[in-house]
Amino acid sequence: MLKTLKMTAVALVLAAGPAMAKDALKLVTVVTDANPQTQLMGMVLINQAIDRGVPTRILLCGPAADMALKDAPETATAPQPPKGASPQALLMAAMKKGAKAEVCAIYLPGKGAGPEVLLDGVTVAQPPAMAKTLLDRQARVWSF
């Protein structure tokens, strides 16, 4: 009987481990997908993480970086069901909550544009700093 109780106690402690896990200390999200629904879901989850108090950095590359443009395409600005939000609107909401948003270093040169085309507060990622951030052991990395 004592052996069964000990085994049960050990099983409960092991099962409770994931439930007692803490949030990541930092979040780095890389968004590259051209699909507006994928972009929007990424932004929804980013905002949820920020609301949980997790400091967040967003790296936008390729077609997803278009949402960081002042003159963004309709795919980035058109409201999406079910709540009628757009990827760009939720990016801006995340930035208002303190997220740092950056476009890939090669994005603007590839467009033949300068940083003046970006939304206020969006910057160009510096590869050494971004690599350090992505490799930080305290950071969780998401990709959409």
Q: Is residue 12 part of a domain?
A: no
What's the average model confidence in pLDDT over 115-137? Answer: 98
Q: Is residue 5 part of a domain?
A: no
Residues 94 and 77: their CA atoms lie apart, in Å, by 15
Q: Is residue 17 part of a domain?
A: no
What are 19's two structure tokens? Answer: 């439930």
Q: Is residue 80 part of a domain?
A: yes
Q: Is residue 40 part of a domain?
A: yes
pLDDT at 47: 98
pLDDT digits (tens, 9 = 90+) for 21-53: 588 899 999 999 999 999 999 999 999 999 999
Q: Is residue 67 part of a domain?
A: yes
CA-nearest of 144, 142, 72 to 107 is: 72
pLDDT digits (tens, 9 = 90+) for 66-101: 999 999 999 999 998 888 999 999 999 999 999 999
| pLDDT confidence bin for 16, thresholds 50/70/90 | very low
Per the structure, the count of domains in the chain is: 1
User: Cα dist. 12→6, 16, 17 in Å?
Assistant: 10, 6, 9
pLDDT at 24: 87
**How many degrees, rounded to 5, is the angle at CA 143 between CA 29 and CA 140?**
55
What are 77's two structure tokens? Answer: 């600005």
Domain hosting residue 70, numbered range: 24-143
- Identify the CATH number of the domain in which residue 101 sits: 3.40.1260.10
pLDDT at 14: 47
Helix, coil or strand: residue 52: coil
What's the average model confidence in pLDDT over 50-59? Answer: 98
CA-nearest of 98, 27, 42, 104 to 68 is: 104
3-class SS letters over 2-41: HHHHHHHHHHHHHHHHHHCCCCCCEEEEEECCCCHHHHHH
Task: Tell me the average pLDDT of the chain.
Answer: 89
Q: Is residue 117 part of a domain?
A: yes
